Amino acid sequence: METDKSNQAVIRLPRYIFLFSIITAWLIPFLSRIPGIPLHGWAWFTDYLPGIGGLLFISGFNLIPGIVLYGVGKGSKRAPIAFWFAASAAVGFLLWAHGTLNLRSSSTAAIALAFIPIYGAGVVVVGWVIGLLTNTVVKAERGRVWLAGIAGRAVSIRVRSCLLHFKRLLCYKTTWQDR
C-alpha cells in the first residue's frame, strides 16, 4: 500500500485479479499443512497428495472459494478494501480449516475436503460484506489503509498462533491423540 498524493485510491485491487484469486485458493490448502509436518510427520502433508486423481479432486474443490473471490473482486472496483477484507477472511479460514484437519482421525474426515471450500466461499462473501460496510462507514482513504493493515495483521497473527501451537505441542512431545 503506497501513499499517493493524487486522487487515486491508495488501496487497489491486484492487477491480475483472476490469477491472484485462483492461485491463492489453490495453494492455501497445501501451504497450511506445512507447519504440521514436524509434529505429525511427512504423512500429514502427503495426505493431501494421494495421487493424481486425489490431487485433481482437492484442487478442483479448492477453486470454489477462488472463483467466489474473483467475483467479489470484480464487484469491488469502487471499494477495493472490500476485496481485501474478503481475501483476508478466506485466507484465515482456509489456513485454519485445512491446517487442523486430521484425515487419519476417522473414515469420514475426508468429507471435510468437500465442505471446507464451500464454507470458504461463504466466508469470502461475509468478509466482502464486512468490507463493504467498512468502506461506507470509513470515508477517509487514510482510515481505509489503516483498516486494510489491520485485516492483514489479523491473518498474520492467526498464522503465528498456529505456528506457536505446533511449537508448543512439539516441546511437550504430545500428539493430537494425547489431548
Task: Give the confidence band of 164 by pLDDT, cuts at 50, 70, 90.
Answer: low
Residue 83 lies in a domain: yes
Mean pLDDT of 51-74: 89
pLDDT for position 75: 86
pLDDT of 158 higher than 70: no
Q: Is residue 34 part of a domain?
A: yes
Q: Are 134 and 95 in contact (CB under 8 A)?
A: no
pLDDT confidence of residue 4: 47
Structural domain contains residue 62: yes
- 109: CB partners within 8 A, 6+ apart: 101, 102, 103
Q: Does residue 3 sit within a domain?
A: no
Q: Which domain holds residue 82?
A: 17-178
Count of structural domains within the chain? 1
User: Which of 117, 157, 150, 126 lies closest to 24 in space, CA to CA?
Assistant: 117
Residue 161 lies in a domain: yes
The predicted model scores a pTM of 0.74
